[in-house]
Structure 1
Amino acid sequence: MARGRLIRGTLLVLVWLVVTVATGLLFFLGSSRTVVLASHEAELRPTLDGYVVLHTGPVLPDFRLSSGSEVGADVTLGKTEVSSVDELVERYAFIASQPEGQVVKIRDSIRSMALAAFVKGALVGLAPIALWWLLGPTRRRELGHLAVSRRGFVAVVAGSVLLILVINPGESGEPTPGDEGWQSLADFLGPGVPTPDAAAGIEVSTGATVSGTHRLIESAVDTFEKSKVFYADVAERAADLELHQPEPGDTVVTLVSDRHDNIGMDAVARAIGDAGGATAVFDAGDDTSVGESWEAFSLDSVNAAFSDLPRWGVAGNHDQGDFVADYLAGEGWTMLDGQVVWGPGDVTLLGVADPRSSGLGSWKDEEGLSFEEVGSRLADAACDSPRRVTTLLVHDANLGAETLARGCADLVVGGHLHLRLGPTPVEGANGALGYSYTTGTTGGAAYAIAVGSKPRRDAMVTLLTYRDGRPVGVQPVVVKTNGDLDPLRYEPLAPTDPALPTPLPATPTPTP
């Protein structure tokens, strides 16, 4: 009797596994998801052909690259914002030269779709087991006799087909662009155009394309090669920089600001942070140019570069609307909203999005506040905090001017100006000494966008050092437009509490 139960139980588990795998696979291959990819709204579908296929639209050919496994992806690009085809192609090349953020997004999306599909499959797999118990032994014997008859066999086959159609209705049958065949990128461009080693595995569809496609692709290949070589070289040399090293118990934070879509600098910023012993990240905003969803590639990149570290940030004036802040918050960033929170190394943090951002700058539920009013509210929050605020993280350091004037924070850090100011000591009305510091543009942005094969102006990453929860030093690192690295001298800080005597202020660094 016990042996019979064991056999039946084993058979039921096997049935569950078979049904789960079969239906889960059908659910998986029939699923799709809309994501923001390579600056487009894109439809992502999993495949089992081992390739990631990119359908770009009617102007450019389709591309594919081996995924390195049996699972692949079919990506159809949708709408985006761009002023010309040339600009779009250059953007593609720049994103492709720093693909980490997009690769992570595709991989995570496929894994999420697979998990959801097989959870559904597991639930479907329980159906025959539940039916088995509900029918009982007598009814099961009757149905068994019926199943071996001709009529029963036809019914089982028809029911199985109907179930498959319900679970996976299939595609429309329309041909997919690029089905005509594939050729290597080198063959597509011809012998006169060198193909970068990193692009050797890319294949191009042999379908018809409009006149001028070769010129566009050649331009993209040139941008791809220059971007990848430039930033990879800078990141490699940044890893060997001789920077100020933290003492035992110190905490170092990488400060970035005004990236403006320059994803090439993310690996460089990470390398600089690692060289200086950084274990956390502050982002002072303006990660995008206009704050639109097509710029998610920039957010994916900075997130991928620092995904293993604790991260805090605020939105800048160009991160318009709530997309940027919500997106980063969804990726694990702590986006400051006017509340004092704990930061790395017992640091207390306060910050808020720039009031000049469209849709941002409200204080709690109150909207329409001016820059000065938000600065005053920040000062109130800092001065009312039961624990002294270590760092005020804002996009524009001027937003923290009143907080420093009242003596309610040790350090105010921001960006916005695309150049370095400070650290400048400020003695508050209560006798406490604090500092204001503005870091340069991490993206090397001259204006509101920094996409290109190299920075458009000198870029900057700053390292902040904390000891016992208080700021004790600042060290900027400059990345010049020719790729040279210039670590500036470490500036010690000595903030004081209101109850302590104020020491002589440190000599501020001359403004460049």
Structure 2
Amino acid sequence: MTRPVRTMQARRLLKVLAYFGTWLVLSAAVAGAIFVHSERTVEIASHEATLSPNFSGEAVARMGPVLPDLRIPSGSWVGVEVELGKTDAETLEELTARYAAIAAQPEGQVAVAQRTLEAMALAALVQGAVLGGVPLLVWVLVGRARRRELYAVLPTRRGIAAAGLAVALVVAVVVPYGWGRSDPPAESWVPLAEFLGPEVPLPDEVRDVEVMADATTAQSRRLIESGISSYDESVHFYSAAAENAAALDLRRPEEGETVVLLVSDRHDNVGMDKVARAIADAGGATAVFDAGDDTSTGSRWEAFSLDSLAATFKSFDGRWAVAGNHDNGGFVRSHLEDLGWTYFDDEVIEGPGGSRILGIDDPRSSGLGDWRDQTGLSFSEVADLLADAACAADEDGDRVDTLLVHDANIAKPALERGCVDLVLGGHVHVQTGPVPVTAADGRVGYTYTLGTTGGAAYAIAIGSKLRRPASIGLVTYRDGRAAGIQSITLQPNGRFEVDPWVALAY
């Protein structure tokens, strides 16, 4: 290879690197500008909230006109400002209680904010990559000869006018991301400990929190104190329960067995999620069934409960769920499906440990599968249709090993006809079973109703501690069928009751 050829190749390589470096710098600059001037609206902390990213390294929560704004280090160079919008809380005390409960189990809300910021960053990078390549594309399309002609015209009056127009076009494209935004006023932040005073003891987890002090925050001090007290009590109760749950002497799966955690009727009590996960780990569970009523009304503000559930069991191999009667409407199912949970559409599907499972949303809330177009069906009519579906699958050699429902009564006909091995449900907030049911042909199935995992009184469970005993089940699968069930109950005084493992004999 001759020296001139090498020199030419070196120049080409340098030219390519120069183009790439220029594109990289332009893309990064444009992407950064787009990112810090973008917004997204999501459900956070039972509010319709607006997220605005920045590079401050701090997370700021704009709490509205009554409660003071809060600030805490984000843990990275990316920061975010969260402006809390409308909520359906009827009183400030109710809203403060929600904040305390959510703060005690924040993983779900952190995951929501993180996913949102990652989506915003990706969108900004894509836009930046495209816009950053536009100047280079124009440069190449104009060509060397034309660029020389433009350089010659540039010092003239015509050239100056053209250059000014080009600059104006660039400004019109880029600058609007920042138009309409004024510099924020100077803010006075004080540590939460200083704001509340030495007479209010603070948990270690909130010592990095700062409060924006102004003339209105003094009126909110009592609410803050109440929230801190509720938060501290909630963290202490559920953290202690999770620690004790990890040490429970539960039956461990043997070789070839799969254990599934069963939860039901959480009713927004996100504090119990860490306890349920600790029990799952102690019992060797790798999958989870959710028998519904994760919320109290099925409203969008309750997304924090669903986000917490999803974050807690994100690493599990399988996550199956049905909607309960309090999960009114389609929001709960849609939200959890978006987070990777499996719901049922009237088909028998593969379940844990090689089993076959079928499920149905409670007809008093979310629909009726393939027969959803049949309006006005009673609960008993839906139960008969469910039994027909289970028995048809059984006749086709696709027997239902587990039928997951919210109210076990809806599966009674299927059990009585001998078409299912095990029915799992909740709804009544009282644990029952496992109870054997013998069909007319002599086949045996079981029904098991879990109590309320959220420790709920009626549809209310959110609070600093349990309102009533909280129930969690562990279902063991072997050779494609449920082989046994173990029940665990957490009492409101923090003590656990562990029932013996009950073998299921068919």
Partner of 1:41: 48
* Cα distance per residue 1:262-283 (max 9 Å; x no partner): 0000000011011000000100
Q: Size of the alignment, in residue pairs?
A: 493
Looking at structure 1, the residues matched to 237 and 158 of structure 2 have their Cα atoms a distance apart, in angstroms, of: 71
Aligned-residue offset at 1:131? 1.9
1:57 partner SS:
coil
Looking at structure 2, the residues matched to 428 and 146 of structure 1 have their Cα atoms a distance apart, in angstroms, of: 95
Partner of 2:84: 77
The residue type paired with residue 377 of structure 1 is: L
Looking at structure 1, the residues matched to 283 and 312 of structure 2 have their Cα atoms a distance apart, in angstroms, of: 16
Unaligned runs of 5+ in 2: 1-7
Contact 1:478/1:486, CA 8 A, preserved across alignment: yes
In structure 2, relative to structure 1, the CA distance for the partners of 1:134 and 1:76 (3 Å cut) is same
Partner of 1:32: 39
**If the length of structure 2 is used for normalisation, what is the TM-score?**
0.94
Residue 195 (structure 1) aligned to one of 193, 202, 221: 202
Looking at structure 2, the residues matched to 286 and 421 of structure 1 have their Cα atoms a distance apart, in angstroms, of: 18
Looking at structure 2, the residues matched to 479 and 54 of structure 1 have their Cα atoms a distance apart, in angstroms, of: 34
Partner of 1:255: 262
2:347 partner SS:
coil
Contact 1:36/1:297, CA 8 A, preserved across alignment: yes
Looking at structure 2, the residues matched to 382 and 140 of structure 1 have their Cα atoms a distance apart, in angstroms, of: 75
Contact 1:250/1:465, CA 8 A, preserved across alignment: yes
Aligned-residue offset at 1:212? 3.6
Looking at structure 1, the residues matched to 171 and 107 of structure 2 have their Cα atoms a distance apart, in angstroms, of: 37
Partner of 2:275: 268
The residue type paired with residue 284 of structure 1 is: A
Partner of 2:386: 378
In structure 2, relative to structure 1, the CA distance for the partners of 1:417 and 1:430 (3 Å cut) is same
Partner of 1:131: 138
Counterparts of 1:10-409 in structure 2 under 5 Å?
Answer: 10-146=17-153, 156=163, 159-160=166-167, 162-169=169-176, 170=178, 172-173=180-181, 179-209=186-216, 212-309=219-316, 310-357=318-365, 359-361=366-368, 363-385=371-393, 386=396, 387-409=398-420
Looking at structure 2, the residues matched to 470 and 147 of structure 1 have their Cα atoms a distance apart, in angstroms, of: 82
Looking at structure 2, the residues matched to 22 and 158 of structure 1 have their Cα atoms a distance apart, in angstroms, of: 22
1:11 partner SS:
helix
Looking at structure 2, the residues matched to 454 and 289 of structure 1 have their Cα atoms a distance apart, in angstroms, of: 17
Looking at structure 2, the residues matched to 200 and 189 of structure 1 have their Cα atoms a distance apart, in angstroms, of: 12
In structure 2, relative to structure 1, the CA distance for the partners of 1:367 and 1:148 (3 Å cut) is farther
Contact 2:68/2:217, CA 8 A, preserved across alignment: no
Contact 1:320/1:360, CA 8 A, preserved across alignment: no
Asked if 1:475 corresponds to 2:482, the answer is no
Looking at structure 1, the residues matched to 334 and 458 of structure 2 have their Cα atoms a distance apart, in angstroms, of: 24
The residue type paired with residue 412 of structure 1 is: V
Looking at structure 2, the residues matched to 491 and 157 of structure 1 have their Cα atoms a distance apart, in angstroms, of: 82
Aligned-residue offset at 1:125? 2.0
The residue type paired with residue 329 of structure 1 is: E
In structure 2, relative to structure 1, the CA distance for the partners of 1:379 and 1:147 (3 Å cut) is farther
Partner of 1:3: 10
| Further displaced range: 427-436 or 153-162 | 153-162
The residue type paired with residue 480 of structure 2 is: G
Aligned-residue offset at 1:150? 8.7
In structure 2, relative to structure 1, the CA distance for the partners of 1:51 and 1:21 (3 Å cut) is same
Contact 1:27/1:168, CA 8 A, preserved across alignment: no
Residue 438 (structure 1) aligned to one of 449, 461, 464: 449
The residue type paired with residue 346 of structure 2 is: G
Looking at structure 1, the residues matched to 169 and 403 of structure 2 have their Cα atoms a distance apart, in angstroms, of: 62
Contact 2:348/2:357, CA 8 A, preserved across alignment: yes
In structure 2, relative to structure 1, the CA distance for the partners of 1:25 and 1:66 (3 Å cut) is same
| Further displaced range: 250-259 or 374-383 | 374-383
In structure 2, relative to structure 1, the CA distance for the partners of 1:279 and 1:156 (3 Å cut) is farther
The residue type paired with residue 35 of structure 2 is: F
The residue type paired with residue 194 of structure 1 is: P
| Further displaced range: 322-331 or 157-166 | 157-166
Residue 468 (structure 2) aligned to one of 436, 457, 464: 457
1:319 partner SS:
coil
Contact 1:33/1:43, CA 8 A, preserved across alignment: yes
The residue type paired with residue 319 of structure 1 is: D
In structure 2, relative to structure 1, the CA distance for the partners of 1:394 and 1:166 (3 Å cut) is same
**If the length of structure 1 is used for normalisation, what is the TM-score?**
0.93
Looking at structure 2, the residues matched to 143 and 494 of structure 1 have their Cα atoms a distance apart, in angstroms, of: 89
